[in-house]
Amino acid sequence: MAAQTLFPERLPTGEGILPSQEILHFVQTGIIRSTPEIEEDQIQPASIDLRLSREAYRVRASFLPGRSTTLLTKATDKGLLSGKLDISEPTLLEPGVIYIIPLMESLDLPSDVYGIANPKSTTGRLDIFTRLITEHGDEFERVRRGYRGELYIEIISQSFPIIVQAGMTLNQLRFGRGKFIVAGDAKLKQLDQDDLLIDADENSGRFDIDRGLRVTVDLAGNGSDVVAYQAKRYSPPIDLSRINYYDVFDFWQPIYKNDKRQYILEPGEFYILASKQRVRVPADLAAEMLPYDLATQEFRVHYAGFFDPGFGFGRDGEIPGTRAVLEVRANQMPILLEDDQFVGRLNYYNMSAKPSKVYGGSIGSNYQQQGLALAKQFRRDQQYSSGLVPGSKPDIQVGQVEATHPGTDAAPGSKEKEYSILSIAFPEGDSEHRIA
């Protein structure tokens, strides 16, 4: 697509999180660079999706390069590299294994612009933990002001085997200018008076503004019998290119509401839940979900913390709020979770300008007006109902474990794949090279 039509000339905006039109300007002027060229759908309202390149490295441990060396030099010197994979074709990434993949995009930032990265929503909902790394970097997920160089992504899939390929996007990068300041409670209370933050219907439960918008969890069901999903330990691989494809029950154990409206989270398990509130992000703001208590780290909520301008809001307030999906992992001990329990804060940040496009179906967003929504790879007709869909698997009661073990069939229709699980795990030729 011609640069003059995709990337019209834009003047830099002010301080705050940079909007889509300035990100397009960065592409046009070479501040963001890539071969092949950047696609229009990579540009989100307040971020850019970053694409995997053709090579992936298995590493023995997570690490940062530090200011004195480059990433791959340090990995080699410290003996951390254990393998190299060609991911130009669909390739299996094993759960629990750390991979580092160079990204197609590189940066030449102005001296007053910095970056902050985060997993995409779909990535978080699949329990794929990702972190951005820069050359000579000493901090994950941060790009220092004026950075010039390559970008890398660290990936570890914690629940499922996944199939990836060059060109896929697992994380996103926001840019900022000036101070990164959270909108204060006084401003949020003013927005709340105008019904710009929460759709306060009778099922939304309580909400408070205290160092951000306090978000609570829904275990009452909001019209559905299913209040959460727990990831199964042994499942077939998930091809991230497959949309609305996989049988929910091959990968997830539904958790049903009970009279006590509570559930015990088990250590080391991964859950998908939903917020009690239907939150809104006006088009001139962006938001980020933060864990409720960074000090205790009892459980982690919402890996993919970015909320784009227009989430649950639209361009002019036409969307009456959207429930936040909560990606939750308990850590050291069982945790009793109760309906309407405080689980996180939604912090709001000023945009430097209102973006030219906002979150929603018109730009291909997958989760506007969602309920308790799994990642887009799973069949939508098996979700959002008050029970299981006709013809689906038998009910699974709370506390009952039904695991899919290695060697079982994949999701319906997966036999039509052009490649099998074995062919991915043990490819012909020399696509993986061991490194001593």
pTM assigned to the model:
0.83
Which of 36, 11, 134 minimizes the C-alpha distance to 24?
11
Least confident of 136-150, 240-254, 304-318: 304-318
What average pLDDT does the segment 201-210 reach? 65
Does the N-terminal peptide bond of residue 320 adopt cis geometry, omega within 30 degrees of 0? no
pLDDT in tens, 41-62: 999 999 999 999 999 999 999 9
What average pLDDT does the segment 36-43 reach? 94
Q: Helix or strand or coil: residue 365?
A: coil
Residue 359's pLDDT is 86
- The answer to whether residue 435 scores a pLDDT higher than 50 is no
Residue 364's pLDDT is 63
Whether residue 46 contacts residue 16, with contact meaning beta carbons closer than 8 Å, is answered with: no
DSSP 288-328: EEEES-TTT-SEEE-SS-EE-TTTTT-SSS-S--EEEEEEE
The whole-angstrom separation of Cα 198 and Cα 187 is 14
- The answer to whether residue 178 scores a pLDDT higher than 50 is yes
Which of 238, 235, 72 minimizes the C-alpha distance to 165?
238
The full set of domain ranges for the chain reads 3-177, 185-382
- The answer to whether residue 378 scores a pLDDT higher than 80 is yes
Q: How confident is the model at residue 298 (pLDDT cuts 50, 70, 90)?
A: low
Please, which residues have CB within 8 angstroms of residue 233's CB and are 6 or more apart in sequence? Answer: 159, 403
What average pLDDT does the segment 55-84 reach? 94
The whole-angstrom separation of Cα 429 and Cα 300 is 41
Residue 297's pLDDT is 52
Domains 3-177 and 185-382 are alike in CATH topology: yes
Architecture of domain 185-382: Distorted Sandwich (2.70)
Q: How confident is the model at residue 28 (pLDDT cuts 50, 70, 90)?
A: very high
Least confident of 70-74, 291-295, 344-348, 369-373: 291-295
Q: Which residue has the tokens 């869909």?
A: 389
Domain 3-177 has CATH 3.40.50.1970: no
